[in-house]
Amino acid sequence: MSVKNITVDHDNEGRRIDNFLFSNFKNIPKSKIYKVIRKGEVRVNSKRVKPDTKLSKNDLIRIPPNLINQEKTLDINISKYAFLKDRVIYDDEDFLIFNKPSNYAVHSGTKNDHGLIDILREVLKDNSLNLCHRLDKGTSGCLVIAKNQKFLGFFNNQLKQRKVKKIYHAIVKDFISEEMVIEDSIDTNTKGSFNKVSINKNGKEAKSILKPLKKLDCSSLIEIEILTGRTHQIRAQCEKINKNIANDKKYGCKDFNTRLKHSGIKRLGLHSSEISFLDLENKINTFVADYDDQFEKMLSYLNT
């Protein structure tokens, strides 16, 4: 296979060359990409580059044959995941909103060959898709996916400035009678055998607002707005106040989970219900994701 040349467009102007290659050759390990950069096989305007070299519009990037040859074709059964098309809530030229199913990891890992983003690129036939944020494997609901680098950077800046509003619905043990604010410090570096985060003074600020929505049998449906976005924030804070989320294997209540086991429902009782943010025209967009059948079934089971 011959050398491939790519001309940098407006969307990729200002990006680092390593990040550009990561997003364009998603199936190649980063270590291999760094290796071809280091050996001078990747060139910009015929010159050697470093990983942090910034790209300019109309730059010509030389992609070596060995990098192209190493790119793997993902073995994804598209027909198996065709149902995911129906879970797209909104789609325009800059981003799409996806109602993520529970029990799908957004990224590939040791326990799954393909992440949800890999599957969506294949099913929707769009290799430009990139995650704007993450949801835990067991969490369902609103997931924002960028369709170009300009929107991805724009959304990430809103996250950093805490301008993205995220509302979750959770099925939890016991009740809360009124709105409550939880402020903690979550340490994501202190992890035990179950890969749990810990709440301690050495962590980073974590703030959530909880509101009661519906009383169930020895449990309740609550709304949670997160004002910070720490790893496992909702799950860890609910455990701390003894309002454990249903079917949470890491932060849950054993007795509560055992009761749910008899229902045959296995999914986590956490759903990303609503998300609000600015689009590239600085207009506020709000999107809502409906519950799936299993979440509805859990509500019905606990309402009897």
Instruction: Look up the CATH number of the domain holding residue 295.
Output: 3.30.2350.10
Residue 76: pLDDT over 80:
no
Share of the chain above pLDDT 70, in %: 93
- State whether 147 and 208 are in the same domain: no
pLDDT of 194: 66
Pair (151, 281) in one structural domain = no
Domain of residue 101, residue span: 78-157
- Picking from 154-158, 167-171, 195-199, which range would have the lowest pLDDT averaged per residue? 195-199
Q: Which of 70, 86, 107 is the last residue of a domain?
A: 70
Domain end position, chosen among 16, 42, 70: 70
pLDDT at 26 over 90: no
Query: Does 114 score more than 80 pLDDT?
Result: no
Whether 136 is catalytic is yes
Whether the full predicted model's pTM is greater than 0.85, yes or no, is no
Q: How far apart are CA 128 and CA 150, in angstroms?
A: 12
Indicate the pLDDT class of residue 30, thresholds 50, 70 and 90.
Answer: confident
Given the residues 59, 118, 136, 187, the one annotated as active site:
136
List pLDDT tens digits, range 210-252. 999 999 999 999 999 999 989 899 999 999 999 999 999 999 9
Q: What's the total number of domains in the chain?
A: 3
Mean pLDDT, to the nearest integer, of 131-151?
Answer: 94
